Chain A
Amino acid sequence: MQRRTTVNVHNARETTARPAAAAGMALAVAGALVLAACGGGDGDGDNDDAQAGEARGDITIWYSNNEAEIAWGEQMVEAWNAGHPDEQIEAQEIPAGDSSEEVISAAIAAGNAPCLIFNTAPVAVPDFEKQGGLVSLSSFEDGATYIEERTGDVAAQYQSADGEYVQMPWKSNPVMIFYNKEMFAEAGLDPENPPLGTHDEFLDTARRLVSSGAAPNAIRPAPTSEFFQSWFDFYPLYAAETGGTQLVEDGSATFAGDAGLAVAEFWKTLYDEELAGREQYQGDAFADGEAAMAIVGPWAISVYGEQVDWGAVPVPTSGGTPPEETYTFSDAKNIGLYTACENRDTAWDVLKFATSEEQDGKLLEITGQMPMRQDLAETYPDYFAENPAYEAFGEQASRTVEVPNVPNSVAVWQAFRDAYSRAVISGEGELGQTLQDAAVEIDDLVGQS
């Protein structure tokens, strides 16, 4: 019996010693690989930059994967390639992923990002810049001039902290309130002139829509916790309330004052009185008749055009701002030139070609999205005359507010969303204090490099 025990113990030691040795070896190899990976990370980027800056040749680009933008992208590439046999564009839709920003970030880290991406979200630009993934467009001789002449004063919102442009402001989707005329009529409201100008009017209208049974919800923005959801509830109304103030300005959060509190109170009332749903809806609540209103951009015209008899008005403010003075969130997508690009001069020329007056006109025509160019309505009068539904969005495009171009931009929005979800959507805690606390947290995030 004793002998058997001894043998077992011996065998156990033998069998555990081998995995231990193997694990030790594995860790040693892993450590070596880590060191190798880390050692190889810091190359001489400046030399690469200098060589790439003088190069011309074929380039690759990515564009968005929605049908309208694919159509625009294909005709743009065809037009360019026809006139530049030695500098051909190879184009593809942005690869599938949870979000475009994650795909682009991974491509930057892997060193296989294309030259141009026509779907660069402004919120991700500070991180892409920090990653060393973006080429400063200001480094081109005519870079800053071209951007400012095309975009006008709005371009300033897209400058980085050092005053350089690492993104080309391309197109915006200024958001407005879409409403269902049939539901408004059913609730006894004037569908042609709905009372939606002030917070109080909006709330009264919302109460009437729900209490009359015309709509299950007055409005139903996504109540979920993703960092970007505040762009489609709080932020457009905050931009309008403040006459164009960003969430963060001069390194400090701006939303904890009276204007932010008024907008937060407005949304809190909608949730508290069950005029807006707290549960996420699987589908499109506006298209499905689950909500009488939605906050959307001009893309919605082609989407809802056939399904819903809709109208559009600017977002409300507490005092009722005239439409021609009302600001909103831009929901812009820009163009980035990425450092993995070898033929950067060609890429810059393609970028200018794609944002020329002709191509911007085609973008407007094919996608219904607003090119970020000053005097948009005056540049394309025929289009807006033929498509009056887009006129209000065209007007609105000149008064948009972008997400602030600050360090830790996504973390800033996540911190804001967490506080907003807690105090406004769930109604927990004291609203003013929660906004104050969030402002302190965001100031700290913005202060970190």
Chain B
Amino acid sequence: MTTVPAGHRAGARYRSPVRRRRRGLLGRQPLGLLFSSPYLAFVLAVFAFPLGFAVWISFHDYFFAAPGAEVDRPFVGLDNYRDVLGDPDVWRSFRNVAVFLLINVPLTVALSLLLATALNQATRLRTFLRVGYYVPYVTASVAVVGVWLFLFNSNGLVNRVLGPLAPDPSWLINSTWAMPAIALYVTWKQLGFYILLYLAALQNVPRELYEVAATDGAGKIRTFFSITIPAVRPATVLVLLLSTIIGANLFTEPYLLTGGGGPNGASMSPVLLMYQLGIEQNSPDVAAAIGVILIVFVLLIGWLQRRLAGGDET
């Protein structure tokens, strides 16, 4: 048993008031504040300030004006939110993005986990396959969208393969199929990134677990469901959250694939609507209100996902 000398105990108990106050303000590791300050400044500048400003804008009659211009930007309370919630186009855009997420998120999780598991076991062409899945992710949407337009137009490859089963009107000008087609495109394009996340998680699953399962006579499917899926649960939560956040911010694909949210707003997303209102029509106040609602929408889904899929992580 170790004993502490009385003098030391007394010394440890005594702290000058100045030192105590400094320690209270700066914490136990003041140097840590110094190291983290660049990131804190970054977060404040590119996240906290714009977010706070957006919230402020959403409660005012706001528009972008020249410096020095005398403009009136009165506080309007919840007027912008009332306008937004009374606009059927806004509701439709949220419904559209909900459809998108319902297709995109489960598909992303299932496909990326399956492909990552397969890739993890592949011994030949592993690097080639990893690069192959990752290439769409790093390719500019503008370039890839052109290919998909050719694939999914009336005379495209997809319709030729489907023959009489092809939808009429074709995918991207069909009110029912435009959003699912976009969801498929985004799933395919983003898959490489999520596969990499799962591959990293799979590397950390102890081999002993698989060996024990094999000893107990578990087959590949049983091992997948009983070992792999629980073991990569933190990665699954991350994939769920990221794909939801990225999906809720859908913009480029409806902007390019369906010519600005067509047909008739069937692929309009909240962010595309924010762009139209805030940037094209100089109504950033209404756009900011949509943005704030979108943040709440995403936080709610994120919270639900963590509750349902997070397990002990929650």
The chain A residues found within 8 Å of chain B, CB to CB, are: 22, 26-27, 29-31, 33-34, 37-38, 41-46, 48, 101-102, 105-106, 108-111, 113, 127, 130-133, 222-227, 278-280, 282, 339-340, 408, 410-411, 414, 418, 421-422, 425-426, 428
Contacts and interface: CB of A to CB of B under 8 A. Distances in A.
Interface in B264-311: 264-265, 276, 279-283
A438 to B, nearest CB: 13
Contact of A422 (B43, B73, B264, B283): B264
Nearest to A410: B281
B44 A111 contact: no
Interface stretch (B110-118, B224-232, B254-262): B254-262
Given A30-B48, A33-B52, A130-B63, 15 more contacts: A27-B48, A27-B52, A33-B53, A37-B53, A38-B73, A41-B65, A41-B73, A108-B66, A111-B68, A224-B259, A278-B173, A279-B170, A280-B259, A410-B282, A421-B264
Nearest to B276: A414
A355 B169 CA distance: 49
Chain B, interface size: which category?
Answer: 35 or more
Contacts of A44: 68, 70
Interface in B175-221: 175
Contacts of A45: 66, 68-70
Contact of B260 (A132, A225, A408): A225
A49 B229 CA distance: 67
Contacts of A111: 66-68
Contacts of B73: 38, 41
B26 interface: no
Interface in B153-174: 153-154, 169-170, 172-173
Nearest to B153: A279
Contact of B261 (A130, A225, A279, A410): A225
A131 B64 contact: yes
B49 interface: yes
Given A42-B70, A282-B146, A225 B53 contact: no
Contacts of A33: 49, 52-53
B66 A224 contact: no
Contact of B280 (A22, A41, A414): A414
Contacts of A41: 65, 67, 71, 73
A279 B172 contact: yes
Contacts of B172: 279
A110 B67 CA distance: 7
Contact of B283 (A133, A222, A223, A411): A411
B198 to A, nearest CB: 27
Given A108-B66, A282-B146, A421-B264, A131 B282 contact: yes
A105 B281 CA distance: 10
3 nearest A-B residue pairs (beta carbon):
A132-B69, A224-B259, A30-B52
Contact of B68 (A37, A132, A411, A428): A132
B52 A105 contact: no
